[in-house]
Structure 1
Amino acid sequence: MYFNIELVPLLPRTVKRIMCVDFFKGVVNSCIAFSLGLIILLINRLWEPFKRGFFCDDDSIKYPHHDSTIPSPVLYGVGFSFNIVSFILIEAALLRNSKNSRTNKKPGQNIAQTYFCIVFNILLPFLYGAAVVQLVTDIAKYSVGRLRPHFLAVCQPDVTKFNCTDGYITADVCTGDMALIKHARVSFPSGHASFSMYSMLFLVFYYQARLTWKNLLLLRPLLQLIVFCLAFYTGLSRIYDYKHHWSDVLAGNIIGVIVSLITVFTLTDLFKGRKSSEEQQTDNNVKLESIRVNKPVTKL
């Protein structure tokens, strides 16, 4: 899925060996992620959601329609920018510390290439996971066709075309804006909840793996709390904006959590044998002490 980089398990990290020369594989993997984005675009453009009927006495779809507290451009802008900026700044700081801490610099070692490979190996899986989240969410949305809480407000049904005594109304009785009506038929699951939870939880895991400086003990949990609260608040806003039912938000959060876990632990090396400098020094001291204890006494 990503270029191979082998690093010494120290923080600050030291580059042991770089193999970022397989340009073809990088292009192929990037094309795979891009193709998922294209499929998502085609689904939104060409796939008509399942046309579910309604009951006249269904109070869950009678809420008013108004603008979102967190519009989609803000959602995706914050979700992508927070992660990308974090990757760029934190990896640059770690690589700078690694460069300053080295005493034996290998000939031909390219710091710029190393930095690009490290960021690419984190960024590409993140983008791929984001595409997977959106794809799974859209397939569910258009297949289920659950009506949003504000469906009747945008549908504006023509009361002369149906009779509430008939029970379940399946006829095409809407007179409102067709784009809004189509959007009001894709409530389950919440796309805002799934993407925000995925992107922010990915960032929580990233901070857990990279921010291991002991002298900044509370920095990591503070950042993790902030980004998690952003995702949590996004889901809540979809409920009080009457854009989704609470179960839609719950389902979206579950999708985001599952995809984030799979992406982090199968497509990245964030938690594969990385240790802090203090932990590594402790291990080295233990090994030295073991050697001293087990070393046989030589008689003169």
Structure 2
Amino acid sequence: MPAVAERWEPRDKRKFFTYLLVELVIMAGTVMLAYYFEYTDTFNVHVQGFFCYDNAYAKPYLGPEESSAIPPALLYALVAGVPTLVIMISETVLFLIQYSSKELDSQEKTMLTGDCCYLNPLVRRTFRFLGVYTFGLFTVDIFVNAGQVVTGNLSPHFLTVCKPNFTALGCQHALRYISHQEACTGNQEDILRARKTFPSKEAALSVYAALYLASYITCTVKAKGTRLAKPVLSLGLMCLAFLTGLNRVAEYRNHWSDVIAGFVIGVAIATFLVVCVVHNFKGKLLLSEDPPQDNMPNAPMMNMSRVESPLEKYIASQETDDEDEPPQSFKERILGFFRWIRGRFGHFEHLQNTRQ
């Protein structure tokens, strides 16, 4: 008999839509905050000074970000597209495998979300995992942009794009510290970009996407023959993220500290979402075939055999045989229990001798 979805009470329906509204508001606020950090000048970048002829900031400038070996457009496309495709395809395949292995009439194939609509478990799981992943992407972007705005850390090629006039600044020796913003004469956009390197956004986004997707593959795919395939694929994704950070250092676009900080942010956010939010991607693709106990009042109960302890037998015998006697003290009950045990062992030895 197919399981019938239980209709919600009006109060439960209000709670559901309240929770949904709160989540949508949080998601919208996260997207808006990321937008203000990324595309507006609402938050001013901290202007950090530098020493004259500082070799840490005098590396060559290899061109804009688009000329990098891993340009931002390619990185963002991979970070957004690959996990989305993998999760959608995997959830669809797993759902179809489980769906085809069951009888079509043996269970309910939809999940009730309110009195007005029904939601397929495939859609529910896919939207849940992708929604959490998207929220994590914007969260990583906010953390990274906040760190860049607050610190204003200089890139390795800062002096190359800044083009300061060392003679006018009085840089007769390298220990002179320059703190005013007007010291630079180069392109203002390049200078602003060179002041936003800590932590590395590319490193944070790449390791976040790699760890989230690797965790999904490890926790979700349970097919035979994947004992080595899953670790290889997961470690391959982490290796690509690591190479992304190495590329940022090799092209003098970030310091080692910038890349390490980005890795820490990406790993921390991905771990938190996987463990605490999606609970290691646990969840049923379909509803259980067996209806709940509350819906089966006439179902036979399974009797489980249970071994009673000697103390329980003694107490039961005392309650049935000595109901009319006055209550005994704790000491008398303990002594009586041991006498009863000794009598049981004597009876057992008598049976053994009789059999012999």
Deviation track 1:227-282 (CA, whole Å, cap 9, x = no partner) reads: 111111111111001010001101110111111111111111335488xxxxxxxx
Q: 1:216: how far off? A: 3.0
Structure 1 outlier segments of 4+, above 6 Å? 15-21, 293-296
Q: 1:24: how far off? A: 5.6
Q: 1:159: how far off? A: 3.0
For residue 336 of structure 2, what is the aligned residue in structure 1?
Answer: none
- 1:177-256 matches, within 5 Å, as 177-256=187-266
For residue 69 of structure 2, what is the aligned residue in structure 1?
Answer: 69
1:266 aligned residue (276, 300, 305) = 276
Distance 1:99 1:64, change over 3 A: same
Deviation track 1:14-73 (CA, whole Å, cap 9, x = no partner) reads: x99799984564454234223212112212321221111111231111111123221211
Q: 1:176: how far off? A: 1.2
1-structure distance, mates of 2:210, 2:20: 25
For residue 166 of structure 2, what is the aligned residue in structure 1?
Answer: 159
For residue 36 of structure 2, what is the aligned residue in structure 1?
Answer: 42
Q: 1:210: how far off? A: 0.7
2-structure distance, mates of 1:202, 1:159: 47
For residue 136 of structure 2, what is the aligned residue in structure 1?
Answer: 129
Contact 2:132–2:273 (CA under 8 A) maintained in structure 1: yes
Structure 1 length-normalised TM:
0.80
Larger radius of gyration: 2
Distance 1:107 1:240, change over 3 A: closer
1:170 aligned residue (164, 170, 179) = 179
2:179 partner amino acid: T
Structure of greater relative contact order (alpha carbons < 8 Å, 6+ residues apart): 1
Contact 1:161–1:173 (CA under 8 A) maintained in structure 2: no
Distance 1:19 1:249, change over 3 A: farther
Contact 1:190–1:248 (CA under 8 A) maintained in structure 2: yes
Distance 1:210 1:158, change over 3 A: same
For residue 105 of structure 1, what is the aligned residue in structure 2?
Answer: 106
2-structure distance, mates of 1:100, 1:108: 12
SS in structure 2 at match of 1:161: coil
Contact 1:18–1:114 (CA under 8 A) maintained in structure 2: no
SS in structure 2 at match of 1:163: coil
Q: Which runs of 5+ in 1 are unaligned?
A: 1-14, 275-290
Contact 1:30–1:124 (CA under 8 A) maintained in structure 2: no
Q: Give the percent of matched residue pairs that are identical in Structure 1 and Structure 2.
A: 29
Structure 2 length-normalised TM:
0.68
Q: 1:295: how far off? A: 8.9
2-structure distance, mates of 1:167, 1:51: 17
Contact 2:110–2:119 (CA under 8 A) maintained in structure 1: no
1:133 partner amino acid: V
2-structure distance, mates of 1:77, 1:145: 27
2:155 aligned residue (145, 148, 151) = 148
Distance 1:23 1:156, change over 3 A: same
Deviation track 1:152-171 (CA, whole Å, cap 9, x = no partner) reads: 11111123430124711112
Aligned length, in residue pairs:
265
